Structure 1
Amino acid sequence: MWLFCGLGNPGEEYKETRHNFGFLVLEAFAERHKLKFNFYKEMESEVAFYKDKAILVKPQTYMNLSGRAVKKWVLKERISLNNLLVIYDDMDLPLGKLKILPKGGAGGHKGMLSIIECLGSSDFPRMKLGIGKPEDKDVVSYVLSPFNEEEKEKVKKILEVAVAALEDLLYKGLLKTMTIYNSQAVV
């Protein structure tokens, strides 16, 4: 069983923002497989289940407290950290680039920092989705702003690729999936 955790912020005002890329990937996966998210108050998250293969978690704690919900699901379902995949936006990658890693640090991402602190480990896989760096905005305004019209076509393509990567991860494993997706230019 895999735990796919997409990072983002709850609420309509954040729905299409760069910082919600993790949510967008899980929503695209759920749409493709006709899954429905339900709110679990005690778990502080919206969740969908994919067969007996994966639990899709969207923490509803706001980004900086994402670790609380992730830890609850890891403990409840007895998920090995090797089977936790965190999906999130990354400013160090250009928009249209996706990178899957077996482990790593927070890289300045507050959601990842929260998860690492709550779990007491950074040894879990992650999928980074490039959003690029802001040219004229401060970082907070940039990550909380929606994708512009020009970027939306790239976002649509990267979501298709990210969903395919999640499917491959379930059936081909982490290393093979990393080999396939880390070596290709996505968009």
Structure 2
Amino acid sequence: MFAWLRDVLRPAPADPPAKIVCGLGNPGHSYMNTRHNAGYRVVARLAAQAGGKWVQHRRLANLCRVEIDGVRALLVQPLTFMNLSGRAVKPLLRRWHLSPEALLVIHDDLDLPPGSIRLRPGGSSGGHKGVQSIIDHLNSTAFCRLRIGIGRPQDGSVVDYVLMPFTRKERQDMEAVWDYACDAARCWIAEGIEAAMNRFNRRAP
């Protein structure tokens, strides 16, 4: 039986999540501290703050169930590598019969200065291949985004830049950004995209 059909036919758990927060990144120790794994970092911190535990789902994603302000949410780290992120995300929305609007994707963004974040309710991928994969698999651009600014390299390859670890100074500076992004994600879970945009679409302190 096809995997997608098993997901549709299998009874849903009694405590389905109302929201899904997916942090994009690449699995494996060598990618852990890279700029491209900003989404991974945020959901990992969010899980730790909420006291959640990670479990692996079909080798497609790490999942963590949390409850924030009375709202059940599922935190996701795709294990498909960045460019195939949609393969991990689509079955989860289908499993719990959630619309794209119930999804928040957290990812790095070259076009935002380091230390800034930006929420938006949908739109194009902006050239981000992980986001584009989700758009392609969902056939929708209507999912919410939380973009983490990493800036562009002054010289050299963009690919090399995003796959390099943050410098020591950047790691120190990003600590406040991870916390600020977690606050924004929690606001989105509890209050929705408009409230989160109004409160957090500015440079992190």
**Structure 1 stretch 46-55 or stretch 83-92: which is displaced more?**
46-55
- Pairs within 5 Å for 1:105-116: 105-116=124-135
1:33 CA displacement: 1.1
Tell whether 2:21 aligns with 1:4. yes
Partner of 2:192: 173
TM (norm. structure 1) is 0.96
1:167 CA displacement: 1.4
Runs of 4+ in 1 over 3 A off after TM superposition: none
Among residues 46, 49, 67, which one is paired with 1:32 in the alignment?
A: 49
Query: d(CA) in 2 for partners of 1:119 and 1:172?
Result: 24
Tell whether 2:75 aligns with 1:56. yes
Give the number of equivalent residue pairs. Answer: 185
Tell whether 2:95 aligns with 1:76. yes
Partner of 2:63: 47
**Secondary structure, counterpart of 1:186 in structure 2:** coil
Partner of 2:204: 186
1:172 CA displacement: 2.0
AA aligned opposite 1:100: L
Partner of 1:124: 143
Among residues 80, 83, 90, which one is paired with 2:109 in the alignment?
A: 90
Among residues 16, 20, 29, which one is paired with 2:37 in the alignment?
A: 20
1:155 CA displacement: 1.1
Structure 1 residue ranges without an equivalent (≥5): none
- Structure 1 or 2, whichever has the larger Rg, is 2
Query: d(CA) in 2 for partners of 1:67 and 1:171?
Result: 25
- Pairs within 5 Å for 1:97-108: 97-108=116-127
**Secondary structure, counterpart of 1:145 in structure 2:** coil
Tell whether 2:157 aligns with 1:141. no
Give CA deviations for 1:37-84 in whole Å, capped at 9, x if unaligned. Answer: 111116x10000013521001110000000001001010111111110
Query: d(CA) in 2 for partners of 1:112 and 1:173?
Result: 20
Percentage identity across aligned positions? 39
Partner of 1:157: 176
Query: d(CA) in 1 for partners of 2:189 and 2:74?
Result: 11
